[in-house]
Structure 1
Amino acid sequence: MTKIKIGNIAKIFNGYAFKSNEYSDDGFQVIRITNVQNGYISNDNRKYIKLNNKLLEKFILNDGDILISLTGNVGRVGRIKKENLPAVLNQRVGKVIIKSKDVFPDYLFHFLKSGIVESKLIRKAKGIAQKNIGSVDIEDIEIPLPPLEDQKRIVKILDKADALRQKRKQAIGLLDDYLKSVFLKMFGDPVKNEKGWGFQKLNDLCDVGSSKRVFVDELTENGIPFYRGTEIGMLSCGEVIKPKLFITNKHYQELKKHTGVPAVGDLLMPSICPDGRIWSVDTELPFYFKDGRVLWIHVKVKSLNNIYLKYTLKEKFKNNYKSIASGTTFAELKIFALKGLSIMLPPVELQNKFAEIVEKSEKIAQSMLAQSAELETQFQVLMQKTFNC
């Protein structure tokens, strides 16, 4: 199959540096890096701006536009839908502009989010505290390009497979909504505390931290999975993931000896977590995670149930994220801010009762997850065959 560089069929158009002090209550939604998720554009934590300058109209986005993150979690790809509009393109987010009739837009979108591009861009990225890529890094990547009719046929197959995956995720999401309602009925709002429970600082109840830094040149093609905020967020939603980054077993053992590693029941979360995507570690299989971008909580007292804590934090983040997170470009959770959180502390017997309800619900979810795992495996095999991963 013919392979050509992405730059021969498309170009990457960079966004504009809209100023945060010019944000308004309505207008055009500013699509920032945090909005670009795996395969979609999130409307969480919206920021708006009035577009009074005609020179900025070229940054207005349209339904179907393909976007890619150029900073932080580089290589994440999403697509604008009507519910995201009206919207404009912010700095460090690239818009893919197709310039050839030889490529079907949906085919290019599937290729960009297949994982091939993201893995290559992570290795090309520059920077220590925050990774960056440029338009050329994307445009230099090769894409298999079959005839147009074959591209459309491939897209139909991939769309059908993806739709099955999404339906399963929605069902799992409904279970989470049910557990949220149970939590609020039993404990009330953890911010308002209508039931008058006592409070303690999270730092007094848990060890709160992150990992030891792993540098880009220490990542390998295989070995022990290395998770970023992206993968942790996906695991928190019950998604089956295909690890993209790894470290050697020798390196893992050194890190384990130096800092320890998460145990079953520990809580991990992306540092950018307005929607409360918290993963309660449910595997004894070895893995490591990115420092700073993933935060780690280990319960150290018997008066706190880890599952109760997970749902407490989820509610706090969803309802009060702005007052907890910090940063202008990215509202991130910091270790010191987490340590200072006041945690509502009802009797542990009541917490345990809630955890039992969660456990029963998760048994139902497990059967769904098993089906999701099978669908995910089939989907990944299909992607590999299609794009020669």
Structure 2
Amino acid sequence: MKWKMLPFAKVAEVITGNTPSKKEPENYGYGIPWVKPHDLDTWQPITKTEENLSEIGQKKSRLIPPGSVMVCCIGSIGKVGIAGTKLATNQQINSLIFKPEIEPKFGYYYCCHILPIFKSEARQAVISILNKSNFEKITIPLPPLSEQRRIVEILDQADALRRMRAEAYAKAERILPALFIKMFGDPATNPMGWEMLPISDLAQVQGGLQLTPKRENYPITMPYLRVANIYRDKLALDEIKYIKVTKNELERIALQSDDILMVEGHGNRQEIGRCAIWDASIQPCLHQNHLIRVRVDKTKAEPIYISAFINSSGGREQLFRFGKTTSGLNTISVSNVRNTIIPLPPLTLQKSYALQVQAAKDIQRQVDKQREKIDKLFSCILQRAFSGELTAKWREAHMKELLAEMEEQAKALNLRDNADFQQLSLL
């Protein structure tokens, strides 16, 4: 069976969202959900959002019904969601209101499956854009409705397993902040009255290397870390870049195991100062100037404790106060980091915390591996679903009914007199 492939414009109404004027506060408030890109990529149908449109704002927006499939087409290309209630979206999102011949959840899963197509069709600029015209030309398979529902039923079962694993991972993520508060108290208020010291009393703080054209003539090529490699308590080492350095720079900037790396500058104020501990998985390795290195004196403090404090509400609040904004970039300095005040519990208590953190991270790594396997399995199931393999045996058992359905679909979509209609039959 080869399914007919039809453009979105043939099987759905495509609605681009908009933003009612922010200069008119009466447009916003209690009312219907207003979806923006960060509200997407959730398993559940969307019924709540951070911002809502008032009755006045609704009249200036483009409302979409429950079951509409939303796709981000500006910026975070390919993020997908499905409406669980009547709502509106901003202009970064195109919504597909499918005709009766496409099951909404089938359309949703298909959009999740074709992220590479969305990205390949987008115009690459400072901000990636997939315009409405190109979006409408993207094609979707047209199985009979009963087969679409069978595919959705199977995918829902597989997706439920993914959700369970994701929930287990989220629980594991919450363990460490709770453990920190249990052992040391609220980091913002220091209720246990620990001695307060600046980081400069506990560690060496060092800036990184600036990327400049003159480096092309330097003799040594080395891997280096940048902001994209450092997340809150996580390293992302999938993409490592290289820099040319002098021998002196290599000796001065080379990272050591347990160094803390902090983000010096970021467009999002919430991300300045986020940090992770270097695991020495790449040796030797350097860091650029948008990261600040903190090398803890282990006779005075535990790197795991210091890192946890910096990432906590207490540490972040100090860094927010220090931060400066220039041309939309929020920054902190080496001096700011040195002057950050940290409550210092007894070293034995810090070491006990570090051991428990390591044990929890071992569990997290196991959960990560399981999640990766399940995600790969789900991707494989999606591939089989939209190639027709997943329901091949089911289709054989229901062939007569399916052919009748396909003919009805063709009539409804005005395909009956089209030569392409022949593709709706067995090849």
Q: TM-score, normalization: structure 2?
A: 0.61
Question: Counterpart of 2:127?
Answer: 130
Question: Counterpart of 1:360?
Answer: 359
Q: Secondary structure at the match of 2:130?
A: coil
C-alpha contact (below 8 Å) 2:261/2:278 kept by paired residues: yes
Instruction: For residues 288-313 of structure 1, give each alpha carbon's deviation from its aligned partner in whole angstroms, at most 9, with x where no partner exists.
Output: xxx9xxx8665444456257525742
Question: Counterpart of 1:95?
Answer: 95
Question: Counterpart of 2:78?
Answer: 75
Which amino acid is the alignment partner of residue 104 of structure 1? E
1:106 Cα deviation after fit: 0.7
Counterpart CA distance in 1 for 2:15 and 2:291 is: 36
1:51 Cα deviation after fit: 2.9
Q: Is 1:147–2:133 an aligned residue pair? A: no
Question: Counterpart of 1:107?
Answer: 106
C-alpha contact (below 8 Å) 2:188/2:315 kept by paired residues: no
Q: 1:322 to 1:161 in 2, by over 3 A?
A: farther
Selected match of 1:50 from 51, 54, 59: 54
1:110 Cα deviation after fit: 0.5
Q: Secondary structure at the match of 1:137?
A: helix
Q: Is 1:12–2:14 an aligned residue pair? A: yes
Which amino acid is the alignment partner of residue 377 of structure 1? K
1:340 Cα deviation after fit: 5.3
Q: Percent identity?
A: 20
1:382 Cα deviation after fit: 1.1
1:74 Cα deviation after fit: 1.2
Counterpart CA distance in 2 for 1:347 and 1:316 is: 15
Counterpart CA distance in 2 for 1:7 and 1:34 is: 26
Instruction: For residues 249-285 of structure 1, give each alpha carbon's deviation from its aligned partner in whole angstroms, at most 9, with x where no partner exists.
Output: xxx6xx3235999998777999669799988787959
Which amino acid is the alignment partner of residue 102 of structure 1? E
1:142 Cα deviation after fit: 2.2
Instruction: For residues 90-120 of structure 1, give each alpha carbon's deviation from its aligned partner in whole angstroms, at most 9, with x where no partner exists.
Output: 221222211x332211111001112x23x23
CA RMSD of aligned residues (A): 5.0
Which amino acid is the alignment partner of residue 91 of structure 2? Q
Question: Counterpart of 1:369?
Answer: 368
Aligned length: 343
> What runs of 5+ residues in structure 1 fail to find an aligned partner?
213-226
Question: Counterpart of 1:223?
Answer: none
1:1-389, aligned counterparts within 5 Å? 1-2=2-3, 3-21=5-23, 22=25, 26-37=30-41, 39=43, 46-52=50-56, 55-56=59-60, 58-59=62-63, 61-81=64-84, 87-98=87-98, 100-114=99-113, 116-117=114-115, 119-126=116-123, 128-195=125-192, 198=196, 200=198, 255-257=241-243, 284=281, 298-302=293-297, 303=301, 305-306=303-304, 309-310=307-308, 312-313=310-311, 315=313, 334-336=330-332, 342=340, 344-347=342-345, 349=347, 350-388=349-387
> What runs of 5+ residues in structure 2 fail to find an aligned partner?
212-225, 246-252, 389-427
Counterpart CA distance in 1 for 2:97 and 2:334 is: 41
Q: Secondary structure at the match of 1:256?
A: strand
Of the structure 1 ranges 66-75 and 357-366, higher mean CA displacement relative to structure 2 is found in 357-366
Q: Secondary structure at the match of 1:8?
A: helix
Which amino acid is the alignment partner of residue 71 of structure 2? I
Larger radius of gyration: 2
Q: TM-score, normalization: structure 1?
A: 0.66
Counterpart CA distance in 1 for 2:291 and 2:45 is: 26
Q: Secondary structure at the match of 2:55?
A: coil
